[in-house]
Amino acid sequence: MFDFIPEIPLASWVDWIVDWITSTFSFIFNPIRNQFGDFMSWSASQLASVPPIIIIIIVAVAAFFLTNRKFGLATFSIVGLLVIYNQGLWEELMFTFTLVLIASVLSVIVGVPIGILMSKSKLAETILLPVLDFMQTMPAFVYLIPAVAFFSIGMVPGVFASLIFATPPTVRFTNLGIRQVPKELVEASEAFGSTGTQRLFKLELPMAKGTIMAGINQTVMLSLSMVVIASMIGAPGLGRPVLSALQRAQAGPGFVAGISIVILAIIMDRFTQNLNKSK
Amino acid sequence: MPVIEVKGLSKVFGKNVKQSLKLLDDGKKKDEILKQTGDTVGVNRASFEVEQGEVFVIMGLSGSGKSTLIRLINRLIEPTEGSVTIDGEDLAKMNQDDLREVRRKKLSMVFQNFGLFPFRTILQNAEYGLEVQGIEKSERAEKAKEALDLVGLGDYINQYPSQLSGGMQQRVGLARALANDPEVLLMDEAFSALDPLIRKDMQDELLDLQQKMKKTIIFITHDLDEALRIGDRIALMKDGSIVQIGTAEDILMKPANDYVERFVEDVDRSKVLTAENIMVRPETVNIDKHGPRVALERMREEGLSSIYVVDADRNLKGYITADDASDARKKEIRDLKEIIKTDVPTVGRDKPMQELFEMIHDSPVPIAVVDNEKLVGIIIRGTVLAALAGESEVHVNV
Ligand SMILES: Nc1ncnc2c1ncn2[C@@H]1O[C@H](COP(=O)(O)OP(=O)(O)OP(=O)(O)O)[C@@H](O)[C@H]1O
Ligand SMILES: [Mg+2]
Contacts of B116 in chain A (CB under 8 A): 188
Tell me, yes or no, whether B234 and B375 share the same domain.
Answer: no
Residue A203 touches partner B, C-beta closer than 8 Å: yes
Determine the 3-state secondary structure of B332 from DSSP: coil
Put simply, the answer to whether B115 touches A185 (Cβ < 8 Å) is: yes
What's the rounded mean pLDDT across residues B27-38?
89
d(CA B8, CA B240): 12
Tell me, yes or no, whether B262 and B292 share the same domain.
Answer: no
| Domain limit, last residue, from B248, B267, B286 | B267
Query: For ligand 1, what atom is nearest to the CA of residue B240?
Result: 14
Ligand 1 pocket test, candidate residues B29, B40, B76, most atoms within 8 A of CB: B40
What's the rounded mean pLDDT across residues A72-87?
92
| Domain limit, last residue, from B218, B237, B267 | B267
Residue A180 touches partner B, C-beta closer than 8 Å: no
How many Cβ contacts (< 8 angstroms) between chains A and B? 60
Determine the 3-state secondary structure of B237 from DSSP: strand
Residue B348 lies in a domain: yes
Query: For ligand 1, what atom is nearest to the CA of residue B66?
Result: 21
Q: How confident is the model at residue A3 (pLDDT cuts 50, 70, 90)?
A: confident
Put simply, the answer to whether A191 touches B132 (Cβ < 8 Å) is: no
Tell me, yes or no, whether B61 and B210 share the same domain.
Answer: yes
B74, B100, B113 ranked by CB distance to A184: nearest: B113
CATH no. for residue B367? 3.10.580.10
Put simply, the answer to whether B76 touches A190 (Cβ < 8 Å) is: yes
What's the rounded mean pLDDT across residues B362-390?
80
| pTM, 2 dp | 0.78
B71, B103, B116 ranked by CB distance to A192: nearest: B103
d(CA B101, CA A260): 59
Tell me, yes or no, whether B232 and B377 share the same domain.
Answer: no
What pLDDT score does B389 carry? 62
CA distance to partner chain B, nearest, from residue A230 (Å): 40
DSSP characters over B198-221: HHHHHHHHHHHHHHHH--EEEEEE
Q: Name which residue leads in pLDDT, B32 or B261.
A: B32
Cβ contacts of A265 within 8 Å, gap of 6 or more: A221, A224
Tell me, yes or no, whether B238 and B288 share the same domain.
Answer: no
B106 backbone dihedrals φ, ψ, rounded to 5°: -110, -30
Tell me, yes or no, whether B236 and B327 share the same domain.
Answer: no
Residues paired with A39 in a beta bridge = none
Residues with C-beta less than 6 Å from any ligand 1 atom: B 13, 40, 42, 60, 62-68, 222
Residue B205 lies in a domain: yes
pLDDT in tens, B322-345: 888 888 888 888 888 888 888 888
Residue B111 lies in a domain: no
What pLDDT score does B363 carry? 80
What pLDDT score does B343 carry? 86
Tell me, yes or no, whether B281 and B257 share the same domain.
Answer: no
Q: Which of B113, B127, B189, B192 to mutate to test the interface with A (most CBs of A within 10 A)?
A: B113
CA distance to partner chain A, nearest, from residue B241 (Å): 24
Residues paired with B235 in a beta bridge = B58, B245
Indicate if the alpha-carbon torsion angle B285, B286, B291, B292 is positive or negative.
positive
A57-83 burial string, b = 16+ CB within 10 Å, else e?
eebbeebbebbeeeeebbebbbebbee
Tell me, yes or no, whether B210 and B291 share the same domain.
Answer: no
Put simply, the answer to whether B129 touches A192 (Cβ < 8 Å) is: yes
B152 backbone dihedrals φ, ψ, rounded to 5°: 75, 30
d(CA A82, CA A79): 5
Residue B194 lies in a domain: yes
pLDDT at position A13 over 80: yes
Percent of residues, chain B, with pLDDT higher than 70: 95
B65 CA distance to ligand 2 middle (Å): 7
Tell me, yes or no, whether B245 and B285 share the same domain.
Answer: no
- Number of domains within chain B: 2
Compute CA B390 distance to the chain's CA centroid, rounded to the nearest angstrom: 19
Count of other CB atoms within 10 angstroms of residue B101: 14
pLDDT at position B164 over 70: yes
Contacts of B131 in chain A (CB under 8 A): 202
CATH no. for residue B34? 3.40.50.300
| Domain limit, last residue, from B200, B233, B267 | B267
User: Nearest CA to A93 among A77, A70, A71, A106?
Assistant: A77
Tell me, yes or no, whether B195 and B66 share the same domain.
Answer: yes
Tell me, yes or no, whether B261 and B297 share the same domain.
Answer: no
Domains of chain A, with CATH numbers?
A: 10-49+87-277 (1.10.3720.10)
Residue B56 lies in a domain: yes
For chain B, the average pLDDT equals 87
- Show the domain range for B49: 2-106+182-267
Residue B226 lies in a domain: yes
Put simply, the answer to whether B115 touches A187 (Cβ < 8 Å) is: yes
A185, A193, A195 ranked by CB distance to B117: nearest: A185
A182 CA distance to ligand 1 middle (Å): 17
Q: Name which residue leads in pLDDT, B354 or A115.
A: A115
Put simply, the answer to whether B103 touches A190 (Cβ < 8 Å) is: yes
Instruction: Give the helix/strand (H/E) hosting B284.
Output: strand B284-286
Determine the 3-state secondary structure of A195 from DSSP: coil
Instruction: Please report how the helices B137-150 and B166-179 are oriented relative to each other, as an axis angle in degrees rounded to 10.
Output: 130
Which ligand is closest in space to the CA of residue B77? 1
Tell me, yes or no, whether B287 and B365 share the same domain.
Answer: yes
Residue B342 lies in a domain: yes
Ligand 1: residue whose CA is nearest its atom 25:
B62
pLDDT in tens, B295-323: 888 888 888 888 999 988 888 989 988 88
